[in-house]
Structure 1
């Protein structure tokens, strides 16, 4: 299982279609994803100013586009990147990504 963080407005644009296209697909050539153990670090580092975030739980075996694990930014860890649009039938769960009392994101009980 891999995960993608997006805002509700971006996700709603995909409703009625068969594929989801994150902005990063146009700007970087892939959709950023993360393993569950990196979600909080990613959210609290890159999405501090965002609200209304969602976590897309993605079944890798159902993704039709190519997935490559790579460390493009020297983080010392390889993140999964989807090189193409994400077919919606690979998204098996959508969870709200909420903040805790201290303002940092916290993982939902079940994602």
Structure 2
């Protein structure tokens, strides 16, 4: 089983659970407002994305742990910005049964979003 991660705003994740699917691409962008994919990360990319995109968000955020084998929408690994780093992108809504876990993601003592060591560290 391969896992990827998505950083979510807690209120948006709660609304998605109630609605039955998740449609947020990244901060401030949704599939309903023209985004074409849901931005995800591998465990070693989570902190980099959080410290760039969510730098001014006090937190906590919600970190979704996603089983790629359960995804209904297409998954592509892409370097769309041409920076030499590819990211997993889900092209369509995220089905909730693909989410293995949702955890609070909080800033470290140094004020930065911490590194996610591996998916096992996130499971109960």
Task: Give TM-score scaled by structure 2 length.
Answer: 0.83
User: 2-side partners of 1:5 and 1:78: how far apart?
Assistant: 17
Q: What residue in structure 2 maps to residue 9 of structure 1?
A: 11
Residue 96 (1) aligns with residue 98 (2): no
The counterpart of 2:48, out of the listed 41, 50, 56, is 41
2 CA distance for matches of 1:19 and 1:32?
Answer: 15
Gaps of 5+ in 2: none
**How many residues are paired up?**
111
The match for 1:56 among 22, 40, 64 is 64
Per-residue CA deviation, residues 14-66 of structure 1 (Å, 9 max, x unaligned), is: 12232111034233310000000111111111111122301100000000000
Tell me the residue number matched to 1:70.
78
Aligned partners of 1:108, 1:36: CA distance in 2, in Å? 5
Are 1:29 and 2:31 an aligned pair?
A: no
Deviation at 1:100, TM superposition (A): 1.1
Q: Using the alignment, how far apart are the partners of 2:109 and 2:115 within structure 1?
A: 13
> Matches of 2:34 and 2:114 in 1, distance apart?
28
- The alignment's TM-score, normalised by the length of structure 1, stands at 0.92
Moved over 4 A (4+): none
Q: Is the 8 A contact 1:95 1:108 kept in 2?
A: no
Whether the 8 Å CA contact 1:33–1:79 is kept in 2: the answer is yes
Unaligned runs of 5+ in 1: none
